[in-house]
Chain A
Amino acid sequence: MRVFLLSLLACAAAQTVLLDPLSVGGVRPDCFLLLVLCSSPRVRPELATIQGFCIGLCQDALSGGPLGLKAFTYSLLGFLTALLSHDLFTDKPLAQFWLLLVGAASAGALSFLLLSFFMGLAPLLPALWVIVPETLYTAVVGFLLLRLPWVRATLARAT
């Protein structure tokens, strides 16, 4: 619990302040999404759902989007990731990268669908200019983070 709360605070600080210099064309990796994807496989689906909801709610509060958008997305993503963790969990780097890519793309697509439903926001093409770079960037950063020994140790401790 303590590790989760600290990670959430760290994510908030990183996403709003620290990652700004890493922005490429206005797109930054999504730390909150990485937290969902990395923490969910290590807990039960019900806890992953609650964690996903809290992470999403924080991101929503710190963004200009509607409150509940990311909470919905990450609740579902956390639940599915935890539920399928036995089948998906792997230490193979390439497989990890693909899983991160699929997770990030799913989150982007779901956010887009919800935004279109609630706000009639954008045609698909401009949205792809956000979804695709964000997915790739997040997956690459997540992949690199998972190579760091202390990140692995922290995740293992949080299990």
Chain B
Amino acid sequence: MSILWRLLTKYRRAVILAVALVMAFLLMTLQVRHDRAVVSFTRQAVLFLMSPVIKVTAVTVGSVSRVWGDYVDLRNLREESLRLTREAAVLQRRISHLEEQALETQRLQGLLAMKEFSRAEFLAARVVGKDATNWFKTVLIDRGSLAGIRRNLPVVAPDGLVGRVVEVTPTAAKVQLITDPVSAAGGLIQRTRVTGIVSGSLGSGLKVRYLPLMADIVIGDEVVTSGMGGVFPKGIPLGRVIAAERRSGALFQEATLAPKVDLSRLEEVLILMGTESRDGFETGGVRQP
């Protein structure tokens, strides 16, 4: 025993490095093998500890940027006469406030319209953080299991699909965006009813893969979710075709999409809580039975 201890002490650097690397390797292996218990626990524990800090930072940054915006406005107006400055400052503040309110109302009206359009139940949430790496595309929202959120619930915005919930803590949840390289959703070309797999890719937006070679795909075609796979309801807008590619010798053709939702400027999202309405989102074209 003492020999083992002496050896461990002597080679402690190598031992600690080996333990750390093996632990990291094991975590990755467990995830690949879909053995999620340990991984999920670790992830949720870290998220649970970190999310309050992130939320507080997001709120603080929002407040500071509003104050900073007011300050910059005031600085510009000081160039005018004192009377005009006072008047303009008041008006400017009022306008900024109203504009902010109008924009928020517009966004919320969009969300509300979508909510009323569908029979499904929605829950609104604010985006409080972005992915911590440049490799993946996820966002952190300010609602968690206490609000009824659970894994794999679809997340939408007024313009279309945002992604799905992949991790939940009591007060926050992580949403995998559709542009994430490991995200995939069943897609349907609205005009021709051809189905494919819509997936994200590193740095190059959305792709529709596994489209039949003879399928008629033209630039501008709208793509919606196909409802296959059981995660996303049918008919949620995904994007518009901006390029289609047929490689010689390939079994399928591939199309590149411009996402419907500007995922870099997400502020509020809706989580689709109920699953009873699986056909209520289609924005145009023929609705399939």
Which of B29, B43, B140, B202 interacts with A129 by CB under 8 Å? Answer: B202
Instruction: Give Cα A100 to B50, complex, Å.
Output: 27
Instruction: Give Cα A46 to B133, complex, Å.
Output: 25
A30 touches B31 (CB 8 A): no
What's the nearest-Cβ distance from chain B to residue A61, in Å?
3
What's the nearest-Cβ distance from chain B to residue A113, in Å?
12
Given contacts A61-B50, A62-B47, contact A114 B134 (CB under 8 A): no
Q: Interface readout for A41-57 with B: 1 if CB under 8 Å, 0 if not?
A: 00011100110110011
Of A23, A46, A127, most B-chain CB atoms within 10 Å: A46
Closest to B133 in A: A63
Instruction: Give Cα A133 to B27, complex, Å.
Output: 28
B201 touches A122 (CB 8 A): yes
Label chain A's interface by main secondary structure: helix
B180 touches A64 (CB 8 A): yes
How many chain-A residues does the 8 Å CB contact rule pick out? 55
Interface positions of B from 29 to 64, Cβ below 8 Å from A: 29, 31-32, 39, 42-43, 46-47, 50, 53-54, 57-58, 61
B58 touches A17 (CB 8 A): yes
Determine the chain A residues whose CB is within 8 A of the CB of B174 once the complex forms.
64
Closest to B176 in A: A64
B46 touches A119 (CB 8 A): no
A62 touches B140 (CB 8 A): yes
A-B residue pairs in contact (CB < 8 Å), sample of 6: A26-B203, A66-B28, A67-B31, A71-B24, A119-B182, A130-B202
Query: Knowing that A56-B24, A115-B135 are A-B contacts, what are 7 other residue pairs whose CB atoms are under 8 Å apart, sorted by A's residue number?
Result: A18-B61, A30-B134, A32-B132, A59-B133, A68-B24, A68-B26, A114-B28
